[in-house]
Amino acid sequence: MARRRHEEEHENHERWLVSYADFITLLFSFFVVMYAISTLSESKYKVLSDSLLQAFRHDRVVTAQTTGLAPMNRTTPGPPRKVPRAVNVVRIQQEQKLLSIAQKITDALRALMQSGQVKLTQLPQGLAVEINASVLFAPGQAALQPDVVPSLVDVAHTLAGVDNVVHIEGHTDNLPIQTPLYPSNWELSGARASSVVRLFAANGVDPARLRAVGFAENHPVDTNDTAEGRQRNRRVTLLILADVPNGDSAAHPVAPKEAPLSPQDAAAPATIVPVASTPPAAAPGTATLPAASVPPISAAPPGKSPRNG
């Protein structure tokens, strides 16, 4: 039998594709891993950051004995900073001074405080005496009522004996007013504040320490939707500013939460926090009238009936 001739195998010239495919697969896997490593998880990063902050803020000093590692320089929190004793003494004197002023004003306005027409409030920047406009002025007018002048004169004598800066703030409700003398609530609120300023200046208070500020209806303490709320919003506030440690008087910052004082609590111990000494500046939305440049205020002409009280 004839032996078959062994056919010669065909040589494959495309075997390189197998190696190339393996290389491409490994390269793809490499970049996938690199991408996964470079993508940060925000939640895990925050946990790591908080852990590091907690570790570095720990009061215990890490030493080589406790960790077995080489010692590392570490800054430890120093002792709390102590307030100079002189500053504490000045602050205590200021608190006692404001409490004495509060007691004298309470004695001068006791009848009005008991009837709810006056409220004495302790603020971080000083003392606020809120007087309802109904006991000071006739509706739509800026001339002081004669029966309230003696009480205000007593307050002026108290303020004449101290060197605190006093802001007199006039406030109205949102009812519009249009008279020849007061075209808007801005003029009315500023004129009412100026009337009190002139009375204080005429009774011994240094005019350089007085500020007359008109806020119109922009700083209500109650709603203007009811008659009771509008009546409370029509007011004059005496803000007696606390002194700062260097002896100057504080500026007028934004008023925080109030803490009303009753006549019985006016002499109780309290903490008065002085604020930074910044030159007084009118807040946005206010109209400031110099005490010495405001013309005398007379009654409104009978031609037009004012609508704002």
Q: What is the mean pLDDT of the chain?
A: 74
Q: How many CA atoms lie within 13 Å of 141's alpha carbon, on the beta-carbon side?
A: 14
Q: What is the CA radius of gyration of the chain?
A: 38
Q: Which long-range contacts (CB under 8 A, 24 or more apart) does 77-84 make?
A: none
- Provide the H-helix boundaries in 3-84: 16-38, 42-56, 64-67
Q: How many whole angstroms separate alpha carbon 237 and alpha carbon 235?
A: 7
Model pLDDT, residue 227 = 93
Query: Predicted confidence band at 246 (pLDDT cuts at 50, 70, 90)?
Result: very low
Q: Could you tell me which residue, 76 or 170, shows the higher pLDDT?
A: 170
Q: Could you tell me which residue, 295 or 220, shows the higher pLDDT?
A: 220
Angle between helices 149-160 and 185-202 (to 10 degrees): 60
With a CB cutoff of 8 Å and minimum separation 6, the contacts of 63 are 71
Range with the poorest average pLDDT among 32-41, 138-147, 268-277: 268-277
- Cα torsion 280, 285, 289, 291 to 10°: value is -50
173-212 pLDDT, tens digit each: 999 998 889 999 999 999 999 999 999 999 999 999 999 9
Query: Predicted confidence band at 5 (pLDDT cuts at 50, 70, 90)?
Result: low
Model pLDDT, residue 252 = 40
β strands within the chain, DSSP E: 118-123, 126-132, 166-171, 210-216, 235-241, 259-261, 287-289
Composition of the chain by helix, strand, coil, percent to 5: 40, 15, 45
Count CB neighbours of 12 within 10 A.
8
53-94 pLDDT, tens digit each: 776 665 444 444 444 444 444 445 555 565 566 667 777 888
Distance of CA 195 to the CA centre of its chain: 28
Q: Could you tell me which residue, 298 or 158, shows the higher pLDDT?
A: 158
279-291 pLDDT, tens digit each: 444 444 444 444 3
132-167 pLDDT, tens digit each: 999 999 999 999 999 999 999 999 999 999 999 999
Q: How many whole angstroms separate alpha carbon 235 and alpha carbon 227?
A: 14
Average pLDDT over residues 108-128: 90
> For residue 207, which of 223, 194, 216, 226 has the smallest C-alpha distance?
194
**Coil, strand, or helix at residue 131?**
strand
Query: Could you give the percent of the chain with pLDDT greater than 70?
Result: 62
Q: How many CA atoms lie within 13 Å of 299's alpha carbon, on the beta-carbon side?
A: 8
Query: Predicted confidence band at 269 (pLDDT cuts at 50, 70, 90)?
Result: very low
Residue 41 in tokens: 């998880």
Query: Predicted confidence band at 243 (pLDDT cuts at 50, 70, 90)?
Result: confident
